[in-house]
Amino acid sequence: MNAPDLSGTDTSADFSATEYADRLTRIRTAMAGAGFEVLIITDPSNMAWATGYDGWSFYVHQAVVIGPDGPPLWWGRGMDAAGARRTVVMPDDCIHSYADSYVQNPDKHPMEDLATLLADRGWHRGRIGVELDNYYYSAKAHAVLSARLNGTLADAGGLVNWQRAVKSTTELERIRRAARIVEAMHRRIVEVAEPGLPKNVLVAEILRTGTLGAGGHWGDYPAIVPMAPSGMDATAPHLTWDDRPMLAGEPHFFEIAGVYRRYHCPLSRTLFFGEPPVKYRRAEAAVQEATAVALEQARPGNHCEDIANAFNARLNALGFEKDSRCGYSIGLSYPPDWGERTMSLRRGDRTVLVPGMVFHFMPALWLDDGGLEITESIAITDTGPETLCTLDGAITVKG
C-alpha cells in the first residue's frame, strides 16, 4: 500500500512529513494484522503521535480516524477545529467538527456525529477498532457508536501505543531535552528547600522551573503533577502536596518529570534535612546496588522481565522487597499518565528489548515511616542502557 501524500506545511517543527507517513504505515500494518478496516483513536497521546494534534481538548469527545486509505481524519468539537488546523499534518479538508450543542448535552451525544461522518465515507461497516480500555473513551460513547454503526466494534486498545515503543532519533532528542529540564527542577528543589518552607511554595518553584525549561528549550506541562509527599505521607506513592511546612528528620521525595513538546523524562529523588536514619541508608544502598545489577540486563535481545528479575533478586538478597513493577515505557504523553501503557519491567513481561525503547526505571520503596524514591529514565541503545539524567542517585542531605 502506498503511503498517502502528507506533504505540505509541517506545523510540528522537527517531525517531518515523512516521519508521519511512516507512522501511518506502521499503524495500518498493525490494523491489517488485527483485521481492522477502520481505527478510531481517542487517546490524545496516540492522536498526537499519528497526526501532530496538540490541544487541551481531551475533556470533550474527539478522535483521529484512520480508514483503509488516504490521510487520517481529525474529528472534535467545533471550537477545537482551529487548533487542529494549527497543529495537524493533514490538509484542512481532513478536519471535521461537531456543533457545540453536542457538548455535555444529555439529550444528544457527539458520537452520533462521528457515526454520521463514518457512514458518509462508507466506513461504518466491517470491523472497526476502538480503544476500549482508555481514559477518554466512555461507556456512553461506545454505546452510542454501537447503536449507530453497522460494523462490529472491537477492542484496539494498545494498537497505536505499541507502534510508539521504538523512538525515532527526533523523539529521543526531545526526551533528552526533557532530561535537562528535570535535572534543573531537582537542582532547584535542593536550592530552595528548607525546614519550615510550605510545600506548596516549593511545588510552585518546581513547576516554574519546569516551565522555564533548560538548555535553551522551553518546558511543557507534565502529564502528572509533582508527587511531593513528606513524612508519613511518603509511605504512599501518589500523594501530591499541601501547605504544611517541610520538617527536619523526615523523608521528602519528589517524583517529577521534565517535558519538552509532550515528551517526558521522569526522575525521582529523595531529600533529608540532616543525616537520614540508618534504615534509609540501608535501603538507599540496596536500591543502588540492585539498580546497577538490573541495568546490566537492559540490553537489546533481553526481555523486560530480565531487568525486573535481576533487580528483585538482588533487592531481596539485601533484605528488601518491592511488590510492584519496577518500570514502564515512556515517551509522548498527556494527562493523566506519562506511561505509554505497553511494556512493564516486571516478571512475566517477555517483550524483547530493542534500541530506541525508553523506560522509567522506578525502583521506589515505601517504608513504614516514609518513602525512598531514586529512579532513572533510560534509553535502550545498541550497547546497553543510556541513563538519560546525570544527577547523583544518592539521598540528598541538606543542613
pLDDT for the residue 127: 97
Are 311 and 372 part of one and the same domain? yes
Q: What is the pLDDT of residues 216-237, one digit of tens each?
A: 999 999 999 999 999 999 999 9
Are 132 and 213 part of one and the same domain? no
Is 360 part of a structural domain of the chain?
yes
Picking from 140, 163, 186, the residue at the C-terminal end of a domain is 163
Are 156 and 174 part of one and the same domain? no
Using alpha carbons, select from 364, 330, 86, 342 the residue that is nearest to residue 235: 364
Are 186 and 312 part of one and the same domain? yes
Give the CATH number for residue 70: 3.40.350.10
Are 173 and 155 part of one and the same domain? no
Is 1 part of a structural domain of the chain?
no
Residue 286, helix vs strand vs coil: helix
Q: What is the pLDDT of residues 94-108, one digit of tens each?
A: 999 999 999 999 999
Picking from 163, 182, 215, the residue at the C-terminal end of a domain is 163
Contact call for residues 265 and 375 (beta carbons, < 8 A): no
94-105 in b/e form (b: 16+ CB < 10 A) is bbbbbeeebeee
pLDDT for the residue 399: 84
Residue with cell 495500518: 28
Is 12 part of a structural domain of the chain?
no
Using alpha carbons, select from 103, 107, 156 the residue that is nearest to residue 131: 156
pLDDT for the residue 14: 78
Using alpha carbons, select from 180, 251, 231 the residue that is nearest to residue 209: 180
Total number of domains in the chain: 2
Is 375 part of a structural domain of the chain?
yes
Are 228 and 350 part of one and the same domain? yes
Using alpha carbons, select from 177, 194, 382 the residue that is nearest to residue 261: 177
Is 8 part of a structural domain of the chain?
no
Picking from 125, 141, 163, the residue at the C-terminal end of a domain is 163
Query: How far is it between the farthest Cα atoms of the chain?
Result: 68
Are 40 and 140 part of one and the same domain? yes
Give the CATH number for residue 302: 3.90.230.10
How many Cβ atoms sit within 10 Å of the Cβ of residue 107? Answer: 6
Backbone Cα Rg of the chain: 23
Low-confidence spans in the chain with pLDDT less than 50: 1-12
Q: What span, in angstroms and rounded, lies between the C-alpha atoms of 340 and 330? A: 5
Are 146 and 173 part of one and the same domain? no
176-215 in b/e form (b: 16+ CB < 10 A) is bbbbbbbbbbbebbeeebeeeeebeebbebbbebbeebbe
Is 120 part of a structural domain of the chain?
yes
Are 394 and 362 part of one and the same domain? yes
Using alpha carbons, select from 141, 151, 171 the residue that is nearest to residue 45: 171
Please give the residue range of the domain that contains residue 154: 17-163
Are 361 and 242 part of one and the same domain? yes
Is 2 part of a structural domain of the chain?
no
Q: Rounded to whole angstroms, what are the CA distances from 236 to 215, 252, 373? A: 33, 12, 11
Are 239 and 108 part of one and the same domain? no
Are 144 and 273 part of one and the same domain? no
Using alpha carbons, select from 366, 367, 363, 365 the residue that is nearest to residue 376: 363
Tell me the pairing of strands 371-372 and 396-398: unpaired
* Amino acid symbol at 309: N
Q: How far apart are the two ends of the chain, measured CA to CA in Å?
A: 64
Is 3 part of a structural domain of the chain?
no
